[in-house]
Amino acid sequence: MQEHLSTQFDVELDAIRAHLTRMGGMVQEQVNNAIAVLGNGDPEIINSIVEQDKGVNEMEMAIDRACTNLVARRQPAAIDLRLVMAIGKTVTDLERIGDEAKKIAKATHKIIERGEGGSLSKVIDIRYMGERAAGMLNAVLDAFVRLDYHAAALVVRSDEEVDHHFQAIIRQLITYMMEDPRTITTALDIVFIAKSVERIGDHCKNIAESIIYIVKGRDVRHKGLDGLEQEITAA
């Protein structure tokens, strides 16, 4: 009987993980499209990002319900419980990443509508920063599938690089605004875009920390890189 219950739990958990992987793929496409829009401003891609967001929201709610039902029926413990809890947190982070991709698309559209799309190309770091954040998302989703906490730790470290790029962009935009006050409106829109990219990195970091929690049973939030190293090397 116990073996039967365990098998049923594994089947239901595998189904949830499959849905999470599918949701992750949808969000990856949103983010990749949002970064592409920074370069081409394609209105069709912008519309597709907005439409994709509806599907991501629906998947978040469906996975949340499935996790709640699984815990109520099967009462998992130890690593199984940590995994279900982490999936619940991860779908929230993925949904918010999708929201940030939509914000990037909409802000880019506003800039292009004003005929100031060329301003984006002047902010060299923003495209590179976006590509780094997209790379973090790819890496953390792969780490989640494999429950690879070493790969997850690399994602946490990568967030610092994205943060540095954000600060560099802010400094660059402040210079533009001081030199020419007519650029203020567009510069503020670009700040908005950069902040959304930075938040994508933050959400990827959250997912990475959840992976470490699943495998090691250790909460590494707010511990900094030194604290992270100590936790993942601990027995």
CA dihedral 188, 193, 194, 200 (to 10 degrees): 150
Q: In this structure, what DSSP letter does residue 222 have?
A: T
pLDDT confidence of residue 232: 67
Helices (H), strands (E): how many in the chain?
A: 8, 0
The pLDDT value recorded for residue 3 is 47
For 148-158, what is each residue's pLDDT tens digit? 999 999 999 99
Domain residue limits at 117: 2-233
CATH number at residue 186: 1.20.58.220
* Global confidence as pTM: 0.91
- Render pLDDT for 109-158 as a digit per residue (tens, 0 to 9): 888 888 876 766 666 678 889 999 999 999 999 999 999 999 999 999 99
Q: How many domains does the chain have?
A: 1
Which residues of the chain have a pLDDT value below 50?
1-4, 235
